[in-house]
Amino acid sequence: MARSAFSPSALLHRLTRRSSPAHDRAPSQSASAFAFGQQEEQAGPSSLTAAHQAASLVARLPELVVQADHIAATLYAGQHGQRRAGWGDTFWQYRQAQPGEPSNHIDWRQSARSTHAYVRETEAESAQTIVLWCDLSPSMNWRSSSALPFKQERAILLLLSMAGLFLRNGERVRLLTPSGMAALPSNCTRLERLALGFAHLAASPTAADGTTTEFQPLPPAELVPRRAHLLIASDFLCPDQTLTTCLNHLAGRPVRAHLIQVADPAERALPYNGRVAFEGLEHESPIDLPHVQTLRPDYEALVAGRDSFLASQAAQHGHDLTLHCTQDAPLPTLLNLHEKIGGKLGPLHRGIRI
C-alpha cells in the first residue's frame, strides 16, 4: 500500500462521505499506487520542515525576482498607456452599493430615486494602492512531483510578477501580513524588498523555542486599506464559510479582490491507482482508499463544483477569480489576470479611476 501526503485531503473526505461503498471495498490484490515525487511533504509539516521550506525559498529568491522582473517587463511592454482622470474631490459619481456595504456609506438622497442603494465616491488622481497576500498555510508547501514547483513558490512568483508591473506603472504595492502591512528593508530594489518580505513570512511560523504557529489562508479584511486592490494567491482549500465571510467583509470596505487559485495537477485529476493511504497536510485525519481510481470521476466532479463555487462567490461580491496550475507557464495566467485587473484598476466599484 502506498502512502502519500496530499493537499486536498478535505475534498477526499467529502467525497468518501458521499460514496461510502467505494471506500468499503476490499483492497486490490495489487497494492500499487502512482506515488508522486519522493513523498517529501508529510501531513502537518513539523517546524523542521517549515524551516527547510523557508530556507529553500530564500535560496530561490534571486531566481524568482529575475523571473518576475522579466515577466513584468513583458507585460509592461504589451500594455497600452493609461490616462489618469479626475481631480480628487472635484469629480464624483455614484455606484451601486455592494453586498456587505456599511449603511453609513449609502447616499440615501440618491438611493431614494431608484430601487437600488447607491454610494457617492470621488475620482482620484493619486496612485492606486495594491496589496499582496500569499497563503502560506501548510497545504501550499506541497507538490506532486519534484519536476513541479511548490504551490507556495509559484504563488509568490505570480504575485511578484504582477507587483513588478504595478511598480512600473507607478502604483503603490504593499505586502500584507496577519498582523498588518509588512515593514520591508530599504537597501535593495522595490521588487527585492517584497521578495524578502515573503521569505520572512515563510520563516515566521518557526519560533525560537521550536514551536510552530498556523498561517491563515485568507487575509484579515480589517487590515486592508479601503479602496485598495487586493491580490490573493491561495489554493482556497479552506471552509466555504471562511471564504464567503472574507469576501463579504472585503466588499464592504470596499476592496476589490483578485483571487489567484494555485493548484497542483494531481489536485485536479487524482491520478492515483490501487490502494493509497492519504495523509492531510493541515491536521485532516488519514484516509485509506482501496481502488482509488474508481473515485476519480466523482472526485473530478467535486473539483469542478468547487471551482464553480469559488467563481460564483467571487463574482457575487464584486471580485474575480483566475485559476493557475503549476505545470503551466506563468505568463498566460498573468496575461489573463492583467486583462481582468486592467479594466478594474480604472474604477474601483466605479469609484476611483487611474
Q: Tell me the CA end-to-end span of the chain in Å, nearest whole number.
A: 58
pTM of the model: 0.74
Residue 285 covered by a domain: no
Q: What is the pLDDT of residues 145-168, one digit of tens each?
A: 999 999 999 999 999 999 999 999
Residue 245 covered by a domain: yes
Residue 340 covered by a domain: yes
Query: What band does 5 get if pLDDT is binned at 50, 70 and 90?
Result: low
The per-residue b/e assignment along 153-180, b for 16 or more CB within 10 angstroms, e otherwise, is bbbbbbbbbbbbbbbbbebebbbbbeee
The neighbour count for residue 109, using CB atoms within 10 Å, is 9
Comparing 25-34, 89-98, 318-327, the range with the smallest average pLDDT is: 25-34
Helix (H, G, I), strand (E, B) or coil at 206: strand
User: What pLDDT score does 322 carry?
Assistant: 97
Residue 143 covered by a domain: yes
* Domain extent at residue 233: 46-86+123-269+301-350
Measuring CA to CA, how many Å separate 158 from each of 68, 151, 190, 323?
Answer: 7, 11, 16, 12
Comparing 51-60, 75-84, 225-234, the range with the smallest average pLDDT is: 75-84
Residue 257 belongs to domain with CATH number? 3.40.50
More confident: 155 or 58 = 155
More confident: 103 or 130 = 130
User: What pLDDT score does 42 carry?
Assistant: 36
Residue 193 covered by a domain: yes
Number of structural domains found in the chain: 1
Residue 283 covered by a domain: no
Q: Which three cell numbers stand for residue 4?
A: 502519500
Residue 190 covered by a domain: yes
Tell me: pLDDT of 78 over 70.
yes
Residue 196 covered by a domain: yes
